[in-house]
Amino acid sequence: MEKLLWKEKLSYGIGAYGKDFIYNMIAAFLMIFYTDVVGVSLIFVSTLFLVVRIVDAITNPFMGWFVDNTKTKWGKFRPWILIGTIINSFVLILLYLNPATFLQGILINVWCIVTYLLWSLTYTLMDVPFWAMIPAFSNDAKVRNEISMLSRLFATFGGQMMSTIGLLVIACLGVNMGASESDGYLRFAVIVAVVFNICEIICVRNVSEHVVIKNKRDIKLSEVLNFLKENDQLLIIIFMTILQQIAVFLWTGMNIYFFKYVVCHEEWFSIFGIVNFIVGSIGLIAFPSLANKFSRKVVYILSSVFLVLGLLGMFFTGSDENANIWLFFSMAGFFCLGNALAGVTTTVMLADTVEYGEYKSGIRSEAVVFSVQTFTVKFGSAIAGFIGAMVLSLVGYVPNAVQTPETVLGLRVMMFIMSALLIMVILCLYLKFYKLNGSFYFNILKELSKRREKISLD
Over range 259-271, report the average pLDDT. 87
- Does the pLDDT of residue 382 top 70, yes or no? yes
Over range 70-99, report the average pLDDT. 93
- Does the pLDDT of residue 241 top 60, yes or no? yes
**CA distances (Å), 442 to each of 139, 141, 433, 439, in order?**
11, 10, 18, 5
pLDDT of residue 216: 56
Over range 64-84, report the average pLDDT. 88
More confident residue, 289 or 223: 289
Q: CB count, 10 Å around CB of 257? A: 22
Burial of 50 (0-12, 13-18, 19+ CB in 10 A): middle
Over range 25-36, report the average pLDDT. 89
Over range 422-431, report the average pLDDT. 96
pLDDT of residue 101: 93
Q: Which amino acid is at 175?
A: V
- Does the pLDDT of residue 163 top 50, yes or no? yes
- 450, 444 Cβ separation under 8 angstroms: no
Lowest mean pLDDT among 30-39, 134-143, 272-281: 134-143
The string over 35-47, giving b where at least 16 C-beta atoms fall within 10 Å of a residue's C-beta and e elsewhere, is bebbebebebbbb
Most confident of 87-96, 148-157, 237-246, 248-257: 87-96
Runs of H (alpha helix) within 69-180: 78-95, 106-132, 134-137, 141-173
pLDDT of residue 213: 61
pLDDT of residue 1: 43
- Does the pLDDT of residue 37 top 50, yes or no? yes
Confidence (pTM): 0.74
Over range 9-13, report the average pLDDT. 92
pLDDT in tens, 294-327: 888 999 999 999 999 999 999 999 988 899 999 9
More confident residue, 410 or 451: 410
> Which segments of the chain belong to CATH 1.20.1250.20?
1-212, 213-457
**CA distances (Å), 106 to each of 32, 82, 111, 215, 322, in order?**
19, 35, 9, 54, 42
- Does the pLDDT of residue 49 top 80, yes or no? yes
pLDDT of residue 4: 64
CATH node for 1-212: 1.20.1250.20
Burial of 62 (0-12, 13-18, 19+ CB in 10 A): middle
Classify 213-457 by CATH class. Answer: mainly alpha
Angle at 98 between CA 93 and CA 101, to 5 degrees: 135
The average confidence (pLDDT) of the chain is 87
- Does the pLDDT of residue 451 top 90, yes or no? no
